[in-house]
Amino acid sequence: MLRRSLFFLGLCGLSLAQDLSVPSSWREPTNSRSSSDRVTIAQNAINVILGQLDSSDAQFNGIGWWQSGNVWSVLANQDHITSTTTNKNNVVNALNTGWSLFANYDQYHTTTTHCGGPQPRTTRTGLTETPICCNMLLIRGTTSQYYTDDVGNSQITDAEASSGSIPGKSFSIEGSCNGATMSGGVFWRPTSDDQGINSITTGLGAYLADATGDSKYANAASAAATWIRSHNINSDNIVLDTVNGHDCSTSPSSWLFTYNSGKYIEGLSVLADVTGDSSWRDLAVNIIAAATHTSAWQGSNGVITEGASPDSNNDGVGFKAVFIRGLHEAWTRSASNTDLRNLIRAYIDVQYNALLELAANGDSYSSSWTGPPQSFTTWGQLAALDVLTAAIDVNN
């Protein structure tokens, strides 16, 4: 893997001007469909992918464990947004099945799962509230213990940064990289040999703090968010991927993936509410402005091109779904920022209209949002679900 020097950016990104404009080149940034039509379109797409469910492991034919977890999150959000229990039984059954087979619904024992970290969302399905994540499914009563025993032991503390070692790791760690402390970084996997600290590390503590009011989760989330701000944002305010905790080497600067920015946006939006620290919201706004205007993963028409893979599944197919979910979370938590909400709404509507007009084959969708339509694939359906569900809410 290519290695490059890590840029210490600290707070410099906060000084950059925010561009919350909706570019005139974007394709159809408005939505004329009624709320009932949007609900029906999204639920029909959910019903189609449910036909691929393997109830023995709560996963879906053609996609893997973390992508399957994303499907369950969409079902939960669909019920929450529409104030229904349409998908409740499927979600609850999947939670129970996934947990019984794999600890934390994690087939490969990662600290922060591949789509963006174990980030519990309260699924308000009727009177039942079940914390779930973007790709792990956590059952109420075990979430806090999981964080303490697993994620908590994988986050570098001040003392561990000073000592150059962390329990459970067979290698020494760098206490600082390019002048910034490594305290707060969370290793992607708790295995003894894994050296990677990913940007997909921020949301669990914030969501747990939001749900429990326990300051230890807010402190952990703040430390993780600070680590990303200090180490893993480029000069364009796009969130980068990985820093090696042993030698400070980084993933290639060309590794620009939607989900890194998406999960940081999501985590910061929650963290700002939990802590009351407006600097986190300011940073989220800067990241949103950059992520929705970048050419790294979309054309001048605004349609996301990342993960366009009609013939085979790959991780990138699911990344953009995670990105949209993060933007939607920011939208829900930014009621006072009209310009930001208008930008997010327009961006989601661009993707929505592209899916329906360029990539739809009945109620199924291609992973290539610029088209053409194709026969059903589970991964194409997965990628579309978050857009279809988010569009219900942002246009209400």
Are 242 and 196 in contact by the 8 Å Cβ rule? The answer is yes
- Residue 64 domain flag: yes
- Residue 239 domain flag: yes
- Residue 210 domain flag: yes
Higher pLDDT, 207 or 159: 159
- Return the CATH number at 146: 1.50.10.20
- Residue 24 domain flag: no
- Residue 18 domain flag: no
- Residue 245 domain flag: yes
Does the pLDDT at position 351 exceed 60?
yes
Mean pLDDT over residues 60-80, rounded? 90
Instruction: State residue 378's pLDDT score.
Output: 98
Secondary structure (H, E, C), 71-102: HHHHHHHHHHHHCCCCCHHHHHHHHHHHHHHC
pLDDT band of 259, cuts 50, 70, 90: very high
- Lowest mean pLDDT: which of 2-11, 146-155, 319-328? 2-11
What does the pLDDT look like over 201-250, one tens digit per residue? Answer: 766 678 878 877 888 888 989 999 999 999 999 999 999 999 999 999 99
Domain of residue 47 covers 31-394
pLDDT band of 121, cuts 50, 70, 90: very low
- 312 φ, ψ (degrees, to nearest 5): -155, 155
101 three-state secondary structure: helix
Are 277 and 317 in contact by the 8 Å Cβ rule? The answer is no
Instruction: State residue 205's pLDDT score.
Output: 73
- Residue 55 domain flag: yes
CA atoms of 176 and 197, how far apart (whole Å):
13
Are 92 and 83 in contact by the 8 Å Cβ rule? The answer is no
- Residue 89 domain flag: yes
Overall domain count for the chain: 1
Are 14 and 282 in contact by the 8 Å Cβ rule? The answer is yes
Q: Is the pTM of this model over 0.75?
A: yes
